[in-house]
Amino acid sequence: MKIVFFGSAHFAVPALEALIKSKYKLVCVVTQPDKKRGRHLHISGTDIKSTAVAAGLKIFQPENIKSKESVDLLKDLDADLFVIVAYGQILSQEVLDIPKIMPINIHASLLPRYRGAAPINWAIINAEKKAGVSIMYVSLKMDSGPVILQKELKIEDSDTAVTLEEKLRYLGAELLMDALEIIDNRSYRLLEQDEDKVILAPKLKKEDGLIDWDAPAAAIHNQVRGVLPWPGAFTGFRGRLLKIFETDVLAVFPNHKPVPGEVLKADKHGIIVACGRGFLSLKELQLEAGRRMPAQNFIIGHELQAGEILGKFNL
């Protein structure tokens, strides 16, 4: 089979690497144009471009994948299959109709659950016990095409959106190879998604990181894990933004009627904060314009004491 690969984000790299090593003919890699990146805004390509360049592959970086130039180039490639993984542009029906067999996508959820841009984040925020990847036929409506293969993975208590993504991107690459085998053999089935079971996973917004201390400790803990690396969980501390990177849940704290957001303990053992239900131990923090540090160092550096109240921060 002749394959065109569409991808841009870090998540897509293992899938491209698996294709490079496979028996299939990779005729072109389509990725986003170079742009200014990083602290110093140097112009650079995507992670996918770097991988493709190292492998000596043909690369196409259109500003608009729907343009006539793009459509004509893609048609000339005479591909059997389009493989799309975290590409970053919406493909038109005209583009989706080009491959001889079909366009397929790796999506980081157990569809129809968590359709959208941030399935990994929302699975953790919503306290799901399992996540997974789906290989699906790409249709024009977002993440709604029939599923070819799925594989699930347990979400560990220690997982964050960052660690879970790392697991799922490799799982997706493995499942892609399985899918290509059954597509090549014409032994696949297309399973329509149950629209009654759809859960959406929209792109995260800055305000999704804002901690509401009236919420249960477990919910805040899941929020902290789920909004990494961006926007990150944050609250107010002495009128400044305080980012919180790591927490633990405590069910009880002795002899205290909680005031949500109140610091109950701040010593060499850590920082304990009251929530709407339960208590949260803060493990790693960063005050705006400061550096990220363990709770014990934060207490010393900022003379944090029991009785202070952490509050909402105005965006």
> What is the C-alpha separation between 258 and 246, in angstroms, rounded?
21
* pTM check: above 0.85: yes
136: CATH: 3.40.50.170
Mean pLDDT by 10 residues, the chain (315 residues): 97 98 98 82 90 98 98 98 97 98 98 98 98 98 97 97 98 98 97 98 97 96 98 95 96 78 90 94 95 95 93 67
Range of the domain at 229: 206-302
Residues 160 and 252 in one domain: no
Residue 309 domain-assigned? no
Residues 56 and 171 in one domain: yes
Residue 210 domain-assigned? yes
Residue ending a domain, choose from 143, 173, 200:
200
Q: How far is CA 51 from CA 12, 65, 75, in A?
A: 10, 20, 24
The 10s digit of each residue's pLDDT in 188-238 is 999 999 999 999 999 999 999 999 999 999 999 999 999 999 999 999 999
pLDDT of residue 42: 79
Note the Cα 166 to chain centre separation in Å. Answer: 9
Q: How many CB atoms lie within 10 A of CB 97?
A: 12
Residues 274 and 161 in one domain: no
Q: How many CB atoms lie within 10 A of CB 310?
A: 23
Contact present, 135 and 149 (Cβ < 8 Å): yes
pLDDT of residue 40: 65
Q: How many residues does the chain have?
A: 315
The 10s digit of each residue's pLDDT in 130-166 is 999 999 999 999 999 999 999 999 999 999 999 999 9
Q: What does the longest C-alpha to C-alpha distance in the chain come to?
A: 73
- Domain total of the chain: 2
Residue 261 domain-assigned? yes
Residue ending a domain, choose from 165, 200, 235:
200
Residue 178 domain-assigned? yes
Contact present, 91 and 66 (Cβ < 8 Å): yes
Residues 189 and 215 in one domain: no
pLDDT of residue 313: 63
pLDDT of residue 113: 98
Backbone angles phi, psi at 300, to 5 degrees: -65, -45
> What is the C-alpha separation between 294 and 275, in angstroms, rounded?
21
Residues 183 and 271 in one domain: no
Q: Torsion angle, CA of 297/300/306/312, rounded to 10 degrees?
A: -60
Question: Could you tell me which of 23, 201, 4, 33 has the C-alpha nearest to residue 96?
Answer: 4
pLDDT of residue 314: 61
Residue with tokens 């729907």: 66
> What is the C-alpha separation between 38 and 313, in angstroms, rounded?
26
Residues 107 and 180 in one domain: yes
Residue 191 domain-assigned? yes
Residues 16 and 74 in one domain: yes
Residue 313 domain-assigned? no
Q: How many CB atoms lie within 10 A of CB 154?
A: 11
Residue ending a domain, choose from 200, 229, 247:
200
Residues 136 and 26 in one domain: yes
Residues 83 and 194 in one domain: yes
Name the packing angle between helices 161-184 and 13-21 (round to 10°): 30
Residues 154 and 23 in one domain: yes
pLDDT of residue 115: 98
pLDDT of residue 282: 97
Residues 273 and 144 in one domain: no
User: What value, to the nearest 5°, has the Cα angle with vertex 221 and ends 262 and 128?
Assistant: 150
- Determine how β-strand 102-107 pairs with β-strand 42-44: unpaired
Backbone angles phi, psi at 154, to 5 degrees: -70, 135
Contact present, 276 and 214 (Cβ < 8 Å): yes
Residues 149 and 119 in one domain: yes
Per DSSP, the three-state class of 175 is: helix
From the number of C-beta atoms within 10 Å of its C-beta (0-12, 13-18, 19+), residue 239 rates as exposed
pLDDT of residue 198: 98
